[in-house]
Amino acid sequence: MPPADNHRVIETTFRVRFAETDMMGVVHHASYLAYLEEGRSEYTRRCGAPYAELQEMGYFLAVGEMTIRYHASATYDDLITVRTWLDDLRSRGVTFGYQVVDAASGELLVTASVRLICIDQGGQARRIPSEWASRLAAT
């Protein structure tokens, strides 16, 4: 599902590495999870709310729910782009939306959504620190 018009979309582009593929040179389905994480990390950095800063505050974002739909395959050495946007921000959780596309052709490879829950070092659900959340949500 594409982002709403008012959502900021951050694009992260990189090459598929050999280790991320199967014997046929096709990207293994699990590799896309790391691609989503890379897109999410870059999104938070560019918003001025890097994930590393949240960790320094003693908080973490744990995956609570993930949906992923595979539309087409990428292969070794393809240049791909992960489009990431903030889909929902609540007091204790955040949801990101994604599209992974072939950077050369624009072909849609994957659509996904990841819901994360803010936890403390003891694994207890906590409110997302407001100063971090406000930077994440700024458009």
DSSP codes, 22-46: -TTSBBPTTHHHHHHHHHHHHHHHH
Is 1 inside any structural domain?
Answer: no
Query: Can you give the pLDDT at residue 4?
Result: 65
- pLDDT computed for residue 1 by the predictor: 64
> Is 103 a member of any domain?
yes
Q: What is the pLDDT of residue 130?
A: 95
Q: In this predicted structure, what is the pLDDT of residue 7?
A: 81
Give pLDDT, residue 42: 97
88 domain residue, yes or no? yes
User: pLDDT value at position 138?
Assistant: 85
CATH number of residue 58's parent domain: 3.10.129.10
With respect to residue 3, please indicate whether it lies within any of the assigned structural domains. no
Is 120 within a domain?
yes
Q: Which DSSP state fits 57?
A: T
d(C-alpha 34, C-alpha 45), whole Å: 17
Of 80, 83, 97, which is closest to residue 27 (Cα–Cα)? 80
- Would you say residue 84 lies in a domain? yes
Pairing of strands 9-15, 93-102: unpaired
Residue 39: its pLDDT value, please? 98
Residue-range definition of the domain harbouring residue 92: 9-137
pLDDT along the chain (139 residues), means of 10: 76 97 95 97 96 96 97 98 97 98 98 98 97 90
Number of domains in the chain: 1
Q: Looking at residue 27, what is its pLDDT? A: 97
Residue 139 has a pLDDT of: 64
pLDDT at 2: 66
The answer to whether residue 2 is domain-embedded is: no
